[in-house]
Structure 1
Amino acid sequence: MQNKVSTVPIIHSSPEDGSIPQLLHLASLSGILKCICRHFKHSAGSLPILQLPIGSIPLGTWVPRVGDPNGQPLAMLRPNASLGAALSMFVQAKVSSIPIVDDNDSLLDIYSRSDITALAKDKAYARISLDEISIHQALLLGQDANAPYGLYNGHRCHMCLRSDSLHKVMERLASPGVRRLVIVEAGSKRVEGIISLSDVFRFLLG
């Protein structure tokens, strides 16, 4: 957390014999969270905070309430926004992912920093103009042509509800490849906030 990395190598070094350090394991935030969830799986009652709904604890980034003078707007974009606008938002908002929403702020997809690097596939970045290509088009360029777009692409959009317990959210974030959950309103899938792996650890470490 101090160095803002999600994976740390665990090495064995024996200074006595001067041997080369050996890599034993890669410790990751998701792996540590999975271990915590496994430990409390059958004794979650011993930590009542794990049963609290995420909407009642200071966790993640939320859409500001009406009339909240200190609320910072959650970074979101429409699918027709330019790729340049997304890159600018990554820098200005200091985020690693941006929910893509429709005119009702309902979740359609998510654009992450990894999607930027995906444009290196087949050197797609060399054929595009940042201000002329939309987020929707950029996502199609960076993924399998046969993959569906939007929420039906289940491995891209991972969601939760504000009523979900902290323990349930932690279990979902402990799944391989899941780095964040978009908090949506039940039914409408209107975006209410976003929770990342690092958010959970900042909360747990107080």
Structure 2
Amino acid sequence: MKFEDIKSKIKNLQLIGEGWRGEVYRGYLDNQELAFKVASEEQFIPNIQKEAQILQIINKYGIGGKLVLAGEDFIAYEFIHGQPLKKVINKENAKTLISQLLKQARVLDKLGINKEEMHRPYTNVLIDDNLKVYLIDFERSKFSKNLQNVTQLIQFIIGEGSKYLPEFDKEKLIEAAKVYKKNKTEENFQKILDILHIRD
């Protein structure tokens, strides 16, 4: 099943985003509000299919948009009513948001999925009205042994993210990240949370 096969059945279909790998639409299928990500060219179909595979896995852990349909050249997931992290994050909510991001990054590390873009979460994280964090855009993700989700996110925390968070010891965090990179245990992850004063 291709996107063209169901396009006529989608109500209020509108283009809401374009990238060089695909287009994102919003619309209603069987009275369900969905986002449709469609490969822009045939060469990008494997990226869309891989994203479907990854969403099926991570959805079990409450991560990502909930996959509803996976076609040959598209995926459809529940539309997320949210805003980009950059528009939402402030000194009052940063600890809540970054705590969720770190814990989701930790799950991805444990699952062996490298998202590739955790050092710049402004571009691929949505926040809903309840301050729930949604990771989006997994087409660049890959199954890997070289997992960098938590350590990439720490790059963001030490840089841009630090201006929103209560004061913490950056040197200690850098050292803790190095230790975690070598040995990704729960104990070493907990040390990262402790330095950031985040309770599990």
**TM-score, L = length of structure 1:** 0.23
| Structure with greater helix percent | 2
**TM-score, L = length of structure 2:** 0.23
